[in-house]
């Protein structure tokens, strides 16, 4: 998608973090935006900051665990703009809790938000893109979709699963002129660790040092937009943690030792 001007871009998780920053970048490119997340007041704040005409931006509150509502929300987008050119599946939640102490409900919630909700919304939007014979699906995965990290087993599982699903989908929709881009951020300066879910289902409520010292979210968003315009299949964004992907591929034992050193003693 070399030119985003006047393209209809639907972003989930648009009220903060990567979704918010990407909305601003898309607005600068001249895209028309649909902003979705649970908090309407935060979406309205983002809408205002985008500085787009009211006719070019739609605030559409959405809970990604409410799969049954997706069809209705898609119709709202089509009634407003008539088409969907790009779906950015960005909503997600992280985890801070070991396998033994974490409630099963914690894993279920993470899988519902990070995987099932993404698959469900994609399935609702995909027929419209097939009809158009064009479209772009972008998914926020993580470097944790390529690696495993202690205290994040459910999160890693959900992100790994995204790659299996969307790599398969990419091959299925290629002849319909539909692109799929996987975004794999490492440490980005967002509140993902603060909002992470703990072993008992409560909010973690703490900023990780690695997150606080990570890549500025505006830099991440700029790289995402560049990847979309270049029709990239997959990109990694971060600092030295990105090397983990290549260690996993070529020197897995070295990565295993690094991960073991990160594990609780």
What tokens appear for 236 in the block?
């990694």
Angstrom distance (rounded) from CA 90 to CA 176: 23
Q: Judge contact between 6 and 91, C-beta under 8 A.
A: no
User: Of 155, 187, 236, 246, which residue is the catalytic one?
Assistant: 155
Angstrom distance (rounded) from CA 102 to CA 93: 15
Question: In the prediction, which pLDDT does 263 show?
Answer: 67
**pLDDT tens digit sequence for 182-196:** 999 999 999 999 999
Is the pLDDT at 265 greater than 60, yes or no? Answer: no
Q: Please give the model's pTM, rounded to 2 decimal places.
A: 0.96
What tokens appear for 59 in the block?
């605030």
Domain ranges within the chain, ordered by starting residue: 8-262
Angstrom distance (rounded) from CA 136 to CA 203: 33
**pLDDT tens digit sequence for 127-179:** 999 999 999 999 999 999 999 999 999 999 999 999 999 999 999 999 999 99
Is the pLDDT at 259 greater than 90, yes or no? Answer: no
- Is 236 catalytic? The answer is no
What tokens appear for 124 in the block?
């609702």
Is the pLDDT at 234 greater than 90, yes or no? Answer: yes
Angstrom distance (rounded) from CA 113 to CA 64: 6
Q: What CATH code is assigned to 8-262?
A: 3.40.50.720
Question: In the prediction, which pLDDT does 129 show?
Answer: 98
List, as one string, the DSSP characters of 1-68.
----TT-EEEEESTTSHHHHHHHHHHHHTT-EEEEE-S-HHHHHHHHHHHT--GGGEEE----TT-GG
**pLDDT tens digit sequence for 54-111:** 999 999 999 999 999 999 999 999 999 999 999 999 999 999 999 999 999 999 999 9
Question: In the prediction, which pLDDT does 2 show?
Answer: 79
Residue 31's alpha-carbon distances to 1, 3, 4, 53, 71, in angstroms, are 12, 9, 5, 11, 23
Question: In the prediction, which pLDDT does 183 show?
Answer: 98
Q: Judge contact between 4 and 31, C-beta under 8 A.
A: yes
User: In terms of DSSP H, where are the helices of the chain?
Assistant: 17-28, 40-50, 70-81, 104-111, 117-132, 153-173, 209-212, 217-229, 243-250, 252-262
Question: In the prediction, which pLDDT does 60 show?
Answer: 98
Give the confidence band of 260 by pLDDT, cuts at 50, 70, 90: confident
Q: What percent of the chain has pLDDT over 90?
A: 92
């Amino acid at each position: 998608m070399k030119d985003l001007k006047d393209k209809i871009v639907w972003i989930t998780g648009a009220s903060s973090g990567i979704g918010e920053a990407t909305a601003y970048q898309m607005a600068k490119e001249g895209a028309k935006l649909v902003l979705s997340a649970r908090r309407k007041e935060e979406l309205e704040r983002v809408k205002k900051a985008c500085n787009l005409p009211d006719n070019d931006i739609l605030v559409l509150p959405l809970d990604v665990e409410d799969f049954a509502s997706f069809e209705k929300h898609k119709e709202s987008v089509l009634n407003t703009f008539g088409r969907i050119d790009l779906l950015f599946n960005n909503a997600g939640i992280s985890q801070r809790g070991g396998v033994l102490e974490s409630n099963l409900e914690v894993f279920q919630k993470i899988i519902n938000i990070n995987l099932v909700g993404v698959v469900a919304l994609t399935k609702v939007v995909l027929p419209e893109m097939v009809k158009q014979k064009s479209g772009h699906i972008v998914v926020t995965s993580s470097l944790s979709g390529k690696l495993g990290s202690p205290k994040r087993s459910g999160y890693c599982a959900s992100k790994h699963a995204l790659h299996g699903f969307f790599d398969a989908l990419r091959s299925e929709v290629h002849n319909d002129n539909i692109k799929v881009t996987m975004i794999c951020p490492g440490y980005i300066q967002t509140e993902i660790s603060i909002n992470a879910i703990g072993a008992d289902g409560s909010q973690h409520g703490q900023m990780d040092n690695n997150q606080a010292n990570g890549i500025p979210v505006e830099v991440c968003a700029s790289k995402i937009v560049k990847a979309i315009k270049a029709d990239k299949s997959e990109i990694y964004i971060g600092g030295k943690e990105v090397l983990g992907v290549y260690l996993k591929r070529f020197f897995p034992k070295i990565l295993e030792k690094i991960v073991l050193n990160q594990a609780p003693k």
